[in-house]
Structure 1
Amino acid sequence: MAPAIFCHQREAVEQLLGAKEQDKRVGIERMRSASNAGLVWIRYLDVWGDGLPPDIPRSADSRGALTTFAKDFSERGKLPGATPLRLLNAVHARQVRAIERLRGSGATLQAELESRFATGLGGPHPTDIGFTFDRSIGVPYLPGSSVKGIARAAARLLEEPRQEELFGPEKIGSDTKAWAGDVVFLDAYPVAWPRLEVDVINCHHPAYYGGKASYPAETEDPVPVYFLTVAKETTFAFRVLSRSGAAERAARAVELLRFGLSELGAGAKTAVGYGAFTG
């Protein structure tokens, strides 16, 4: 029987291939290897009911749906010729070609997660906790704007004297000319197909935090909320380019980024240890 998250695909396969169980299994395997996990997450996860978001009741078994989804997602990298894996490799190849065309004015950092990584938790989803996938590939990633923010925060902490040269002006007013910094940060993707894991936030005092009780009592029932994370030891590739062709600027930006990833972290919940990298 196919995983629950592919219930809609299963119905389509049955209509196309008839009732033979072997044909259905083969068809479902093909659709699983080719489907976009990000689309499954926002439209076809089993927690969705009938109709379209956001007017859909949340399933009581969000943990089961997330566990099944995470397991299926993680196994995609093992499927020979899987479309999502080929697309991920193609993205890395395009970024490498971009650096090669600049003839040494780009730099690459590969950093490994020391802890779980969470992203997009504030996004709308019937499980109550969102997650961000690249729209084209269906893989967790860090947008270039977020990567730049990490490097800039590190530059601020280290009092980098060339902040504006690298990143552009931090504040723009009516009397300030806007201009782009020299360094360009590309989106960061996992080097290999990543593994997803389910984590939990366990609120022990829902009545107190919800304003229904004047003090947090130990008699309240905990309300666990499950959410997706990228497993630790996943390696991401961070690539930086220099508009002017200055290799030393790209190299300096990578060093600032290295510091930011290790000391500040990336993604959500960094204050409690998520998203810490080493590299």
Structure 2
Amino acid sequence: MPDILPLPFKNRIRNLLHNSSAHPGLIFERYFPCWEGETKIEKAKPSSEAYKEFLNCYGKKKTKVEKLLKNINHRLNNLVNAYNGKELVFESVERIAIGLGIEHPTENGFLLDRTCGVPYIPGAAIKGVCRAYAKLLGKEAHITDLLGREEPSHQQGDIIFLPAYPEEVPGLILDVITNHHQDYYTREPQERKFRLDINKGNYPLPMDIEIPVPVFHLALKEGVKFYFRLISISGNQENLQRVGSLLAEALEYLKIGAKTSVGYGGMKIVSKRPEMAWEVEPVKGVIQTFISYSHEDKEKVLEFIATAAPYGVSPWRDEDGLMPHLGEELWEKIDQAIEKENVVAVSLFLSENSVASEEVLREIEFTHRLKKHIIPILLEKTEEVNSFLEKYLKLERGYYLRVEESLAPQKWADTLLNQARVKSATEVVFYLGHREAVISAKIPEKWQNMPAIVLRNSEYWLNPFGKEGQDWNPKSEEDYQKYEDGFRFLRVSLDGVKRLYLCGYTPLGIAGMIGKYWDRATGIKLITWNSYTGEEWSVGRTPPEGWVEEKSKHLQVLAEERLNKSEQIVICHFANNDRGKTQYKKALKWIEENLPVGKVFCFGYPAKITGEMAEEVAKECSGTFIWAKEKFLPEEIHWFSDLPMALMPLVTYLTRAVGKIIFYDEHKERHIYIKAFEKH
């Protein structure tokens, strides 16, 4: 609120405040004693005498605010206890300056609580120093589940940082910042009083003939104890331990407040130091969730699982490929499943059918005993379901999911990734099982010590009770868009990944999307698995050069067609053998009937590609787009290919800045091509 009182009245009110019970924060912020008399409009430069007058006033009021501070600490302590939070005590080992950047007549503000006038540390500042410390160590991905993510998704973290209040009303002291070169730091070079002749090329330098100008500010004395209070939204005690450990390190090494580089802001922990490390190790193996549901709700549950498949949600199934439901006599099998490390949470589907079952209470009790996470997913929100949440899922009731929410599948997947600590992983495996005819994910043995995310076709989960899988393919552009939405989500969620491993069996249109979202500009290393040769394939980040026929080692021009006068170009990559030539003829026929393109170029790649030559072949394939762009300047390039699945993402990984490329994937059963994705 702006100051509107005439100056004489302000001074009179100030004098009354100094003799009343008003708290120091009001006096410092609104009625700081820095005016000369009652008739002068221009305020005097705040001096040490003005500060001394305020400190004298603060000292007189110190006892008046002790009761208020005690009440604040009592209320915050009750809040922490009510939510099973954590309280840590730290003591300042150096002076602390909080809020020097706040606007104030002294030009150096200070942060005092508006309720009782005592200095405190805001929760945002505490959270900020924790994030800055993790970022400094290059381990910010380890704490996204705790602190959230600022960019690009603005994801909420699990931990609430309450403001830190002192144990007792602390003493304030007067400190000083002395600027020895004010002229040098505050004026433009040509305006400085003390400078060399800039016309001769001499840059102005700080001069020792300047007069030092002291600038006064307030600070907290060392030896002040603060209560730092934390609350976990999910009630996760491990998260509280981790943040406590992170906070202890951050306050010890980075300190808090202003002037930390010159001996301010240091703190040490007085209470028991958390023993758990804040860095986390990701779960190894395929990330799964145990599905708890009532048999009567099977159809609704399966539909929701299907919508979450592109985001990496993978339900646990037994050796027969079945998902047991409530009421089955499978408790030994269910208990063993929940105990597995890679089964990171129990997804509990709640309806009037399930809450009426006694079996669900047994699962909840067992899951809580194992300290596993429960994700309540509401199939319907009725009075019975709400009552069940309130009675048996007190910790989880605040963050349940509802199947009708549009973002529920993404939130479900994100919760599982958090519980598996995959977001802190630098190495992650994607198992692309969209065309796999088996239920269990086949991860190469050398990759089984890394977290693995299974990506399936949505329709795969609509028949999860059969022992045999099927060969499902995307049937439309909309189907491909579902999987692209999933990769877009994973690209944001897994921003700490440095090496991404791909295996499985999937349509080329889906494999190519991996290289689209994790291309060489991201700095990620992409490694694929060729199941036929049992080899790892990868490429470097060096940009490919434009393809040159005379220099080409692996690609040959198999065909060149002129269909019409259109400037649009088609690039084809097919195997240089009879099968590849037959595939090209099929593609050409479809192109002639469906695309208004001008020229078609078919490049033949070696029928047998080894690990030693994979990078060269990928670079030459990518180079054909550069060649086409430079030679024909097309508005867009249409792309058809039968590249090996292990090579396809490496080509899209390398391909950048060549304009718009549209890839068409073959639907083998229907003998048509479908637009799969665009890369710009």
Superposition TM-score tier, normalisation by shorter sequence: 0.7 to 0.9
- 1:48–1:126 CA contact under 8 A, matched in 2: no
Spell out the pairing of 1:87-106 with structure 2 (5 A cutoff). Answer: 87-102=68-83, 105-106=84-85
* Aligned residue runs from structure 1 range 178-189, under 5 A: 178-189=154-165
Aligned to 1:242: 232
Asked if the contact 2:160–2:230 (Cα under 8 Å) also holds between the matched residues in 1, the reply is: yes
Deviation at 1:70, TM superposition (A): 2.1
**Structure 1 CA distance, aligned partners of 2:11 and 2:87?**
40
Deviations 1:40-68 (A, max 9, x none): 002212104689xxx96442452111123
Q: Which of the numbers 166, 171, 190 marks the counterpart of 2:146?
A: 166
- State the match for 2:113 in structure 1: 134
CA root-mean-square deviation: 2.5
C-alpha spacing 1:255/1:272, structure 2 compared with 1 (3 Å)? same
Structure 1 residue 219 displacement after superposition: 2.5
Q: Deviations over 1:68-105 (max 9, x none)?
A: 3224324533x3xx1x2211111110111012112xx3
Note if 1:85 corresponds to 2:72: no
Residue 110 of structure 1: SS of its match in structure 2? Answer: strand
Identity %: 36
- AA paired with 1:204? H
Report Cα offsets for 1:187-229 as digits up to 9, x if no partner: 1111110000010111122223333222333322211111000
Runs of at least 4 residues of structure 1 off by over 6 A? Answer: none
Q: Does the CA-based 8 Å contact 1:50-1:56 persist in structure 2?
A: no
Unaligned segments of structure 1, at least 5 residues: 1-5, 14-26
Mapped partners of 1:36, 1:47: distance in 2: 18
Instruction: Go from structure 1 to structure 2 and tell me whether the alpha carbon gap of 1:203 and 1:58 turns closer, same or farther (over 3 Å shift).
Output: farther
For the structure 1 residues 11 and 69, does the alpha-carbon distance in structure 2 shift closer, same or farther, using more than 3 Å as the test? closer
**Which one is further off, 62-71 or 156-165?**
156-165
- 1:216-254 CA distances to partner (integer Å, 9 max, x unpaired)? 333222111110001111111100011111112112111
Tell me what 2:264 maps to.
Answer: 274
Q: Distance in 2 between matches of 1:197 and 1:93?
A: 27
TM-score with structure 2 length normalisation? 0.34
2:178 partner letter = N
Task: Name whichever of 93-102 and 211-220 sits farther off.
Answer: 211-220
Residue 20 of structure 1 corresponds to: none
- Which structure has the greater CA radius of gyration? 2
1:152 to 120, 126, 131: 131
Contact 2:24 2:61 in 1 (8 A): no
- CA distance in structure 2 between the partners assigned to 1:193 and 1:221 by the alignment: 38
| 1:264 maps to which of 254, 258, 270 | 254
Equivalent residue for 2:32? 45
SS at match of 1:128: coil
Secondary structure of residue in 2 paired with 1:67: helix
Q: Which of 94, 98, 106 matches 1:119?
A: 98
Partner of 2:307: none
Which whole-Å deviations, capped at 9, do the CAs of 1:13-39 have from their partners, x for residues lacking one? Answer: 9xxxxxxxxxxxxx93xx1xx212111
The answer to whether structure 1 residue 72 and structure 2 residue 57 are counterparts is yes
Counterpart AA for 1:97: N
State TM-score, norm by structure 1.
0.79
**Distance in 1 separating the partners of 2:182 and 2:23:** 35
Deviates more, 1:122-131 or 1:253-262: 122-131
2:168 is the counterpart of 1:192 = yes
Evaluate the alpha carbon distance shift between residue 57 and residue 254 of structure 1 in structure 2; reply closer, same or farther with a 3 A threshold: farther
* Counterpart Cα distance in 1 of 2:250 and 2:55: 28
Residues 157/220 of structure 1: CA separation in 2 closer, same or farther (3 Å cut)? closer
SS of 2:248 mapped into structure 1: helix
- The residue number in structure 2 matching 1:210 is 186
Shift of 1:145: 1.0
Q: Gaps spanning 5+ residues in structure 2: where?
A: 1-9, 196-204, 270-680
Q: Secondary structure at the match of 1:47?
A: coil
Structure 1 counterpart of 2:243, one-letter code: A
With over 3 angstroms needed to count, the CA separation of the structure-2 counterparts of 1:64 and 1:11, relative to structure 1, is closer
The structure-2 alpha-carbon separation of the partners of 1:246 and 1:165, relative to structure 1 and needing over 3 Å to count, comes to same
**What is the rounded CA distance, in whole Å, between the counterparts of 1:245 and 1:128 in structure 2?**
43
Q: Distance in 1 between matches of 2:67 and 2:118?
A: 12
Residue 259 of structure 2 aligns to which amino acid in structure 1? K
Q: Provide the secondary structure at the position in 1 that maps to 2:25.
A: helix
Identify if the C-alpha distance between structure 1 residues 75 and 265 changes in structure 2 by more than 3 Å, giving closer, same or farther: farther
